[in-house]
Amino acid sequence: MGDNLLLSLDSPETSNNDNEQFVTEQKRIDDSLDRSRLAAEQAVAAARSIQSSAEELRNVVDGELVTAQRRESHLRRSLSRQEAKLATKSSEYHALASQALATSSRLEQRIAESEEARATLAMELSNALDRIAELESILEGRASHRASLGSSKLHHCAQCDQYREELENAHKKIHAYETTIEQRTTAAQFSVEELANSLANQKRLEAEKKAMKRIHEEEIQRLQNEIEEKDALLAQFNEQLIAANDEVLEIHESQVKESKLRACGMSGVSDTSAVRADEENEVLKSRIYELEEETQILRNAMETDHQAQMEKADDINILRDELDLLQRKHERAEMIITQLKRLLMGISDVCLTGTERVNTAWDNPEADQIDNALDMTVGSKRIGFY
């Protein structure tokens, strides 16, 4: 009976302690539930913010991709225009070549028309050589005759002076021909040197044109590689964003499920589970911060790439202007070379062999009897030298 009395005396205090402990536990559970709900709401808000930033970044990346594709299309159209322009210039060059051939035909016709005059001049030169030989023979005969007569018979001979004057004039004429030949030879050599320099410049311009075309193709390939890299980077970022969204939704669903269990009185959450929930929230926040930092880094990288692309576009425009200038110089050099080729055709051979022909005609006594001793063949034409 004493034991029952003692139990009855202790029961109210024990009941009060249990009630207080239950109230405290319930309050702690409610606080933990509020913190979990607040953390879940913050996580959802952060996930929505990340999703909004990702959408904005995706729009920016799409805009950059569209811009890069337009720039690539523009470069391809520019390259097509350049190729069309080169084809047009090539056709113009062929037309100029045809015109030059026609001019060459007219020059050959004029050469044929002037053959008669040149032959006449060659005949005059041959006659002059014959006259020189005749005068020298006459003078030698007069000198021997005067020597045979003796000093007492010597007297002034006006005809001999006339012969000497004619002989001196003939020598002057020959010297003038030799001077003309030397001048033409020098001019021909100078023209040949200019032609060689023009050919070297033409080769250099062609090499520069090929280098510019190669640089243009490399720039297009580089833009294509940048577009592929941005596509891969955007796909990677989308995967990370999807994984983060899945993680946030999973945590949110687990917290909602746990909250429902607590509301039904079936929760057995302790201080350890609350700490674990806080740690998960901290991990989620750190993950959100990392994603925001990666997003900012990606934006900075895209801004840097955009600036670099604008600078490269300016460089491409400068290179395109230089290419146009080089093409104009190349066309002008081709025209000059074509004219030089047509105008100097055969002149070098004529001038180089002219001196030899004159020396041969002067030194060879038998050449005096040949009317066309100075004639020569240039290509398919036989002309007289003068």
pLDDT band at 386 (very low <50, low <70, confident <90, very high): very low
Show me where the domains of the chain are located: 29-111+197-355
Q: Give 339-362 pLDDT, tens digit per residue.
A: 666 666 655 555 556 556 666 666
Amino acid at 18: D
> CA 73, CA 205: separation in Å to the nearest integer?
27
Least trusted range by pLDDT, from 9-13, 50-54, 337-341, 364-368: 9-13
Q: Which residues pair with 376 in a beta bridge?
A: 383
Q: What is the pLDDT of residues 262-310, one digit of tens each?
A: 656 544 444 555 556 667 667 767 777 777 777 777 777 777 777 777 7
What percent of the chain is modeled with pLDDT above 90? 0
- Per-residue pLDDT at 184 exceeds 50: yes
